Amino acid sequence: MIRVLRVAELGADAVVATLARPVAAVAPELRAAVAAIVDEVRRRGDAAVLEFTKRFDGVELEPEALRVGEPEWGRATLPPALGRALEEAARRIEAFHRHQLPRSWWVHDEHGALLGQHVTPLERVGCYVPGGTAAYPSTVLMNLIPARVAGVRELVVVSPPGPDGRLHPVVLAAARLAGATEAYRIGGAQAIAALAYGTAHVRPVDKIVGPGNIYVALAKRLVFGDVGIDGVAGPSEVVVVADRTAVGAHVAADLLAQAEHDPLARAVCLTDDPPLGAAVAAAVAAQCRALPRATIAEAAIRDHGAVVVTRDLAEAVALANRLAPEHLELAVADPLAWLPAVRHAGAIFLGAHTPEVVGDYLAGPNHVLPTGGTARFASGLSVEAFVKRSSLIHYTPAALAAAWPHLRVLAEAEGLQGHAAAARVRMEPSRTGGDT
């Protein structure tokens, strides 16, 4: 069911090539359809949003009903156990992200000039939450809590309405717990366009975060530049580096936890121990049959999964770096010893008792992570995604005088005499003074 590849036979390059996913091709017709939706919402506002909601979600709404009212918020009650679990998750997520808060700072250089950084939060952030028959409260917590910690004052949730025209109660409950100030029953590309450009009933936001289907992903790409986005997520990934101390059934369960997400999910075990590799392969086949989402998991394991037997553990970690996975588990005897060798991973899970699933829900670090190998240059969602940094510069007459010789030379080298003049005019005795 799952491929077993041996680096000693194939070579590292061939293994990486075998595991690489081809670039997803998006049909031009789909791109055109999403562009048309975004353009219609941009031009026609609420009228277009309502038409698309009726067409795609089968729900007919009045403009005033787009925004969730207080009665619906009040009905968003949860079973006690689920409520407690969400509260604990929210507590841990907030505690972790408070450590990420960037700070404003300034210093004086040797000439008395003040130089620094002024950090301010974004004003308004929109979070897309997939909806309909499914509910993803963890998505709400992971996207909104860092924004609230950053100081964002207006936190807006959009999600497709269910058949009854309402948002899923667990989504609303999580949104209230995370600090959402508004919620709208809008889904798909039309929701992204409404957040980006605004309508009569939806004010535009500064940044859009949250996952979604291909329509949502393409719409986020289209509006990027007019608003910020968190990124465009691809299929989920896990790479487990395991030595002989790992338990095959545990590794198999972690591979399947990702495989059940999507037929395109990638689940790979890298091990220097051939018996463990065989045990993982056997356990994957046995456990997969018992999953409710077995069909999805089987497709992902068959097409994008593998057990890779390496010549040693160093080679396993090197291969993991080349794959640059969203999730990396170090299921080895001494994970901290190998941590310095890890260069590319969205999140790193250390030790045999740290399955990736704790990061999905409860540990505290964000589960919005780079996929598709983009962990080579990208990081997970954090508080820093919701703030701006403005440079601070304050020069005294003495500091400007000290800088003038260099300013003149640099401006003249670029042929920008007006730049030089803007400093030179302040060097004239009659123009100095007053600013200390």
| Interatomic CA distance for residues 114 and 392, integer angstroms | 7
Instruction: Please identify which of the residues 260, 298, 326, 329 carries the catalytic annotation.
Output: 326
Instruction: Please identify which of the residues 250, 304, 327, 367 carries the catalytic annotation.
Output: 327
Q: Please give the full DSSP string across 296-342, using - where no structure is assigned.
A: HHHHHHHHH-EEEE-SSHHHHHHHHHHH--SEEEEESS-HHHHGGG-
Cβ–Cβ < 8 Å for 14, 316: no
Strand, helix or coil for residue 229: strand
Element (H, E) at 154: strand 154-158
Q: Under 8 Å CB-to-CB from 41, ≥6 apart: which residues? A: 48, 49, 52, 190, 193, 194, 197, 199
- The reply to whether 327 belongs to the active site is yes
Q: Which two tokens stand for residue 399?
A: 């500091």
Closest CA to 394 of 71, 5, 116: 116
- The reply to whether 326 belongs to the active site is yes
Q: Under 8 Å CB-to-CB from 244, ≥6 apart: which residues? A: 272, 273, 275, 276
| Interatomic CA distance for residues 223 and 227, integer angstroms | 6
Please give the distance of CA 213 from its chain centroid, rounded to a whole number.
Answer: 14
Positions marked active-site? 326-327
